């Protein structure tokens, strides 16, 4: 688990200052050496011959620590870029969904009789009965303390926090099947067993604009929809969730086929019709019956 905000708030460790002339000389030497590794090997050889650096037993660990720090910086920049791209895509998707919803409502509001409004209200009540609710535009739910959205690979949680909140004020503890989130000195905002396991090393959080705590959870099983983030919280009706068409087109053929099958089965269940697996079993049984007319199938039941 990584804290993206730390890379934004904390100053980088002090490094030896290198003027423009020194950097240009180093760049020229790098180009002449034929690559980064030969350049580093030459620099280490010079340091060995012209200084007493490697007489110090801790020299190797210090050089290794410098390389590890640069690698950590690269990984942090890559994670931040992925997070920024995800947020931009999510914002674009939400805006498109809201625009589509507003257009649909505007087109039907004048034609809708009062009795249908009352009927819709009763239908919503029935759908939310039993702790199951209609999904929001992101296939998740908007709850009192937090909102969440999801796609097949991941879950995104947004929690409003007081303006000016820093990462050091956040309490964040995640295990593969448990999540605890809150602010220091206050009761946890989220504390419970996750609906399904997650990949802890691929989970991130950050403070956005000093007023929103954003959390990314990477699902362990990336081929199923979550009904909730925490077990016992209100659940989303997974028969109503829909993957983004753009995301669906980006999937490899095998994964896309699996997702499309899941969507088909969800629609079939909504209409009280057999799923693809049930239809396949029916076809197999019908074929067997047609090939063996001499057998008595009067008591046989189709799956």
Per-residue model confidence (pLDDT) at position 86: 86
Asked whether residue 54 is domain-assigned, the answer is no
Instruction: Say yes or no: 147 and 225 in one domain.
Output: yes
Asked whether residue 260 is domain-assigned, the answer is yes
pLDDT at 91 over 70: yes
Asked whether residue 213 is domain-assigned, the answer is yes
Instruction: Say yes or no: 278 and 225 in one domain.
Output: no
Per-residue model confidence (pLDDT) at position 142: 94
Asked whether residue 286 is domain-assigned, the answer is yes
**145 φ, ψ (degrees, to nearest 5):** -100, -20
Give mean pLDDT, residues 210-238: 92
Give mean pLDDT, residues 93-114: 70
Q: pLDDT tens, 1-25? A: 666 555 454 444 444 445 668 888 8
Give mean pLDDT, residues 89-114: 72
Q: Which of 195, 214, 236 is the last residue of a domain?
A: 236
pLDDT band with cut points at 50, 70 and 90 for residue 127 = very low
Per-residue model confidence (pLDDT) at position 56: 87
Average pLDDT, the chain: 80
Q: What is the dihedral of CA 119, 265, 273, 136, to 10 degrees?
A: 0
Give mean pLDDT, residues 155-160: 95
Give mean pLDDT, residues 151-172: 93
Least confident range from 126-130, 181-185, 240-244: namely 126-130
Instruction: Say yes or no: 216 and 256 in one domain.
Output: no
Give mean pLDDT, residues 210-239: 92
Per-residue model confidence (pLDDT) at position 108: 65
* Alpha-carbon gap, residue 85 to 293, rounded angstroms: 61
Check which CATH number belongs to the domain holding 144 and give it. Answer: 2.60.40.790
Q: pLDDT tens, 29-65? A: 888 888 888 888 888 888 888 888 888 888 888 888 8
Range of the domain at 266: 248-291
Burial class from Cβ neighbours inside 10 Å (0-12, 13-18, 19+) for residue 179 reads: buried
Asked whether residue 203 is domain-assigned, the answer is yes
Asked whether residue 18 is domain-assigned, the answer is no
Helix (H) or strand (E) holding 169: none
Number of domains in the chain: 2
Asked whether residue 122 is domain-assigned, the answer is no
Asked whether residue 197 is domain-assigned, the answer is yes
Single out the residue of 72, 88, 81, 192 nearest to residue 143, CA to CA: 192
């Amino acid at each position: 688990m990584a804290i993206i905000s730390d890379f934004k708030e904390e100053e980088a460790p002090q490094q030896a200052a290198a003027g423009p002339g020194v950097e240009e000389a180093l760049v020229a030497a790098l180009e002449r050496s034929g690559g980064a590794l030969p350049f580093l090997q030459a620099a280490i050889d010079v340091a060995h011959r012209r200084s007493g650096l490697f007489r110090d037993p801790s020299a190797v660990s210090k050089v290794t620590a410098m390389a590890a720090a640069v690698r950590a910086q690269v990984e942090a920049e890559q994670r931040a870029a992925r997070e920024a791209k995800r947020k931009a895509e999510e914002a674009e998707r939400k805006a498109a969904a809201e625009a589509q919803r507003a257009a649909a409502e505007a087109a039907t509001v004048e034609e809708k009789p009062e009795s249908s409004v009352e009927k819709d209200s009763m239908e919503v009540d029935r759908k939310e009965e039993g702790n199951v609710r209609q999904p929001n535009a992101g296939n998740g739910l908007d709850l009192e303390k937090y909102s969440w959205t999801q796609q097949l690979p991941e879950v995104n949680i947004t929690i409003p926090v007081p303006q000016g909140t820093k990462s050091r004020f956040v309490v964040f503890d995640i295990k593969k099947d448990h999540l605890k989130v809150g602010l220091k000195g206050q009761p946890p905002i989220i504390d419970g067993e996750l609906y399904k396991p997650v990949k802890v090393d691929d989970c991130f959080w950050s403070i956005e604009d000093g007023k929103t705590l954003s959390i990314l959870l990477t699902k362990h099983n990336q081929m199923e929809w979550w009904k909730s983030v925490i077990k016992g919280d209100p659940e989303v009706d997974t028969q109503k969730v829909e993957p983004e068409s753009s995301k669906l087109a980006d999937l490899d053929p095998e994964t896309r086929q699996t997702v499309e099958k899941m969507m088909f089965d969800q629609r079939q269940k909504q209409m009280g019709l057999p799923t693809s697996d049930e239809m396949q079993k029916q076809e197999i049984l019908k074929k067997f019956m047609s090939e063996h007319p001499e057998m008595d199938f009067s008591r046989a039941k189709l799956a």
